Chain A
């Protein structure tokens, strides 16, 4: 049992990075130095996971560092490194960096453990660790009273979701007598099993903001600082999606009806997310809405209830988060209104072209990450003969091109008079962070066939 503990090295590193950031006042470079130290720790952690091996269950079977977890953990640590690097360059708006950076790293450590979780108790505790720092990041500016109010809303709603999950989990444990994912046995549990699964899924859907329960995220997030949103809508969310996929796969074996529930939520997310995104002028709202839609595509594969669907969903979770973080970071630099992006191509051509790259990936244009992600999702759904969902996903994708291209049009042909913000001072760290996002978007796309094979996805 002790032999498996080296698998924790990356998580320990990330937590150490968080502590280093907390005591950033003693580091050279003070606040900025704290952020660089944290970014280094996260990047190193990502590298260790990526090149480290996988293994069987560790810690009494409560965690499993398998290849899916390796992919997710690399993605989580990498995304955090990029985000912290950007923060090192540009700072948190109106406040000092170190607490925010430390909290983000704590959330990352929680998320990385969460994506290995194979046990209900470990899952719940790490889910809390992954999401709790988000409440602070959402209300990070202490002078911004309305932002703090939204953060409080977000906190209360998210805690409510946690409690609902916990209630469902207690029933799951009661029915199967085991907290291990592998021991969840719902065969013949009737109404009680249905209640247990419903409560668990409703809570988890709310946590990752899937369709029927999305409203609170939209309202709570709409006024948050874009830089906070860039983290909150990617890292904790990816971790939540990974563990939700794992749990759905574990339950699907003995409760096939779960596929219908997930399928309905997937359809609702695709429709509601895309329709709401169409009319948004605020880029934060637009990206949150489109995030709901992307979750819909992802849950379409989960509705299949197969190993292939699970692998494809986890692949897409990271493949979606990388460009999404890139776009959100540029929003944090340029401004939240769509008019702020007017003529970005002539002011900052590289950033504009990176934006085009990310938006194309979000739509799903080859050979970028998003294209392969969607391809595998659709493949998994087709295997399970979910034709209706596949058709809906294709229609929804076409619809999504409409609002994504609105941003592109503004960047290249926008009316310059609308642009109000002054010139943005150059920052090497932020430029590197954005470049990393762009490179990763292309690299995940090019490496997709190898990655997806490692995730255990098999077609045909």
Chain B
């Protein structure tokens, strides 16, 4: 970690991140879990700000912390027939925990081992305008394909939600 990143602020955000994740996993109420999830996303946005990646932070808040959270809440409300007490069983899988831990250890080893190989970051973070130019210049093709993907999902959504005609 470079000296420019303030230690106490990072500690608070990291605590919020991990604590929020634990809170999400242990919440009995599904809506509480969804709210915890958006808290984690906000904390991650804070981490991005700390790394002076303003664009990422704004996108994180816009897309994940707000749009995605709303979608998640919508889905929970739409699919849960019983509005009263959407409670789930406490579900802790030991195998899943071990797997998550193992993945974490391997990733930490890999990054600690070869962290210096990660390409050097630019000194001056590139602005949003430059990003837009890249997106609509060099990367137009993936952008257009993404538009087609959205179209496909729209067609699919209409197909499944339309009344079945006899």
> What is the minimal beta-carbon distance from B133 to any residue of chain A, in angstroms?
13
> What is the minimal beta-carbon distance from A78 to any residue of chain B, in angstroms?
21
* A99 lies within 8 A of B159 (CB): yes
Taking residues whose C-beta sits less than 8 angstroms from the other chain, chain A's interface range is 35 or more
Write out, one digit per residue, whether chain A residues 75-117 have a CB within 8 A of any chain B CB (1) or not (0): 0000000000000000000000001001100100110010000
Q: Which residues of B contact A63 (CB under 8 A)?
A: 141
Closest to A151 in B: B160
> SS class of chain B's interface: helix, strand, loop or mixed?
helix
Please judge, given known A-B contacts A60-B138, A106-B148, A106-B151, whether A136 and B118 are in contact too, CB under 8 Å.
no
Question: Which of the residues B142, B145, B164 comes within 8 Å of A143, measured between beta carbons?
Answer: B164
Question: Is A15 part of the contact surface with B, judged by Cβ < 8 Å?
Answer: yes
* B152 lies within 8 A of A99 (CB): no
* A191 lies within 8 A of B149 (CB): no
Question: Which of the residues B107, B141, B149, B160 comes within 8 Å of A142, measured between beta carbons?
Answer: B160
> What is the minimal beta-carbon distance from B152 to any residue of chain A, in angstroms?
5
Query: Which of B110, B142, B151 has most chain A Cβ within 10 Å?
Result: B142
Closest to A132 in B: B152
Closest to A122 in B: B142
Q: Which positions 171-200 of chain A face chain B at CB distance < 8 Å?
A: 174-175, 177, 188-195
* A129 lies within 8 A of B152 (CB): yes
Taking residues whose C-beta sits less than 8 angstroms from the other chain, chain B's interface range is 20 to 34
* A132 lies within 8 A of B153 (CB): yes
Question: Which of the residues A62, A133, A191 comes within 8 Å of B141, measured between beta carbons?
Answer: A62
* A129 lies within 8 A of B145 (CB): yes
Q: Which residues of A contact B91 (CB under 8 A)?
A: none
* A189 lies within 8 A of B164 (CB): no
Question: Is B63 part of the contact surface with A, judged by Cβ < 8 Å?
Answer: no
CA distance A189 to B114 in the complex (A): 7
* A126 lies within 8 A of B145 (CB): yes
* B142 lies within 8 A of A121 (CB): yes
Question: Is B124 part of the contact surface with A, judged by Cβ < 8 Å?
Answer: no
* A175 lies within 8 A of B117 (CB): yes
Q: Which residues of A contact B110 (CB under 8 A)?
A: 190-192, 194-195
**Pairs across A and B, CB under 8 Å, 12 listed:** A99-B159, A103-B156, A125-B142, A129-B149, A129-B152, A174-B118, A175-B114, A175-B117, A175-B118, A177-B119, A191-B114, A195-B107
